[in-house]
Each structure stands twice: as C-alpha cells, then as structure tokens.
Chains A and B, each alone.
Chain A
Amino acid sequence: DQQVKQNSPSLSVQEGRISILNCDYTNSMFDYFLWYKKYPAEGPTFLISISSIKDKNEDGRFTVFLNKSAKHLSLHIVPSQPGDSAVYFCAADSQGGSEKLVFGKGMKLTVNP
C-alpha cells in the first residue's frame, strides 16, 4: 500500500508559466513533508519542506501548500525555468522532522523554452 502518491507521472509547461505538482498521502500520522528535485545520475536535492502546523511555506520561486483535511500537498513553481526540468519527489515523515522518509514515485517536470 503506497502511503505517498504522486498520481501524475509527468508534466510539461512553458517557460515563465506556473508548474503545479501534486502529492497525496494516506497516513494521518505524517506531520512533516518535503519536496526533492532529482537530475539524472545525481542524488535527490532538498527543495522545500512544510510542517503540519502550517498550511503554506514559501522560498523564492517555490511554494508548498498543505491541506491536512484532504491529505494533499502541492508544490508551485513560479515562474518555471528550463533548469527546473527534473524529477520531483514528494516525501513524508511522522516524527516531526527528519527520520524515516516515505517517498512518492516521482513526477517528471519538463519546462519548455
């Protein structure tokens, strides 16, 4: 049973537009959520996180929204740039911080010039 789900395998957007990446989870014990970005042949790079006590966290072009009642989070990238093209992973933790992360399968974002 997959506890963290990224239901769309891919997304293609135009440079300068908004990219919205979605993630759903089933375990109500999760209280800390992270987004990672991964280029081919490299390890995941941490992007942004959010604690369950918040519903929004922003860092530059990246904003993460958390809807606890719907068990849903999303990552917004505005404006999208070609260098954002990568695989994005949603991850969750149930210890309020960084312990055993549960990852989604990932979503490939392509930003077209």
Chain B
Amino acid sequence: GAGVSQSPRYKVAKRGQDVALRCDPISGHVSLFWYQQALGQGPEFLTYFQNEAQLDKSGLPSDRFFAERPEGSVSTLKIQRTQQEDSAVYLCASSLVLGGGPQHFGDGTRLSIL
C-alpha cells in the first residue's frame, strides 16, 4: 500500500482481556518498528524487526507484551491481561532498510483499557 496501515484505529477492552494490534508496513520495507505514545508525550520505542527477525525488544514494558512478524511483512503486537496503564496510542513505523532513511508512521491504534 501507499502508507503504513494500522488496525483497528480504536480499541476498547476491559482490564484483563488480551488484545492484538495489526500493522501493514509500506510494501518492500525491510524494517518495522513499534512505539507507544502516552498522552502529552513523544512516542517511546517498544521493539523492531528486520524482515522476520526481532532485533531489539528492549522497550517492551513487560512480558505481557509480545510482537511478531512471521513472514517479514505484516506484524502483530499482542498485549495479554491488559491493565489500565496500557492505555495509549500504539504506533507502527517502517523503513526501507535498517539505517537507511527515516521511519514512516501509520496513524496508530488508540487503546483504551476500562
């Protein structure tokens, strides 16, 4: 597609439920990144992939967060047993190659945990 596509745009879940957020990167982009943006803050790095390999997951807040990109294209960020502090906008970005230019962002998924 022309840009990074994320779905759903909005997700409301009850505390304790599991959620899955999807990211479709720009076609041909090798690197894919996930960020978390809290209200009034800048995006914070969660994890990134080069093709299907997860090269850095140092930003994941807890072992309830899990990301995958099994075929090197679409990625899913899963949050298990959600808690209220997980409420945030989750942004996905892609870039053509690692270290080869700016990251291009999707419009994000706004997650609200009740």
Are A46's CB and B103's CB within 8 A?
Answer: yes
The 8 A CB mask of B57-101 against A (1 = contact, 0 = none) is 001000000000000000000000000000000010101001111
A-B pairs with beta carbons under 8 A, tally = 63
- Residues of A in contact (CB 8 Å), total 24
Instruction: Give min CB distance, A46 to chain B, whole Å.
Output: 4
Bound CA–CA A89/B91 (angstroms): 14
Nearest to B101 among chain A residues (CB) is: A98
Given contacts A97-B98, A97-B101, contact A102 B45 (CB under 8 A): yes
Check: B107 CB closer than 8 A to any chain A CB. yes
State the main secondary structure of chain A at its contact with B: loop
Residues in chain B near residue A106, CB distance under 8 A:
41-42
B-contacting residues, A3-56, CB 8 Å:
4, 34, 36, 41-46, 49
Known contacts: A43-B4, A89-B42. The answer to whether A99 contacts B99 by CB under 8 A is yes
Q: Which residues of A contact B (CB under 8 A)?
A: 4, 34, 36, 41-46, 49, 89, 91, 95-106
A-B contact pairs, 21 of them (CB 8 A): A42-B107, A43-B6, A43-B106, A43-B107, A43-B108, A44-B105, A46-B103, A46-B104, A89-B43, A97-B99, A97-B101, A98-B31, A98-B100, A98-B101, A98-B103, A99-B98, A99-B99, A100-B48, A101-B103, A103-B43, A106-B41
